[in-house]
Homo-oligomer: A and B are copies of this chain.
Amino acid sequence: MKPDGKAAQNKRIKKDALMRTAFELFSLNGIAKTTIAEIAEHAGVGKGTFYFYFKDKYDIRNHIIAHQSARIFLKAKKEIEVLPLETLEEKIIALTDHVINQLCNEPLTLRFVHKNLNWGIFQNSELYDVNLEGADFKGVFEEAFRESEVRYDQPQMMIFMIIELVGSTCYESILYHQPLPIDEMKPYLFDSIRAIMRSREIHENQVQ
Please pick, from B119, B169, B195, the residue contacting A172 in the complex, using a CB distance under 8 A.
Answer: B119
A35 CB–B CB distance under 8 Å: no
Interface residues of A in 166-191 (CB under 8 A from B): 167-169, 172, 176, 178-180, 185, 188-189, 191
A165-B165, A179-B119, A199-B195 are known contacts. Are A185 and B172 too (CB-CB below 8 A)?
Answer: no
Interface residues of A in 80-99 (CB under 8 A from B): none
Please pick, from B120, B164, B188, the residue contacting A165 in the complex, using a CB distance under 8 A.
Answer: B164
A167 CB contacts on chain B under 8 angstroms: 168
A contact face: mostly helix, strand, loop, or mixed: helix
A154 CB–B CB distance under 8 Å: yes
Residue-by-residue, is A33-58 near B (CB-CB < 8 Å gives 1, otherwise 0)? 00000000000000000000000000
A29 CB–B CB distance under 8 Å: no
A169 CB contacts on chain B under 8 angstroms: 160-161, 164
Interface of A toward B, CB cutoff 8 Å: 32, 114-115, 118-120, 154, 156-158, 160-161, 164-165, 167-169, 172, 176, 178-180, 185, 188-189, 191-192, 194-196, 198-200
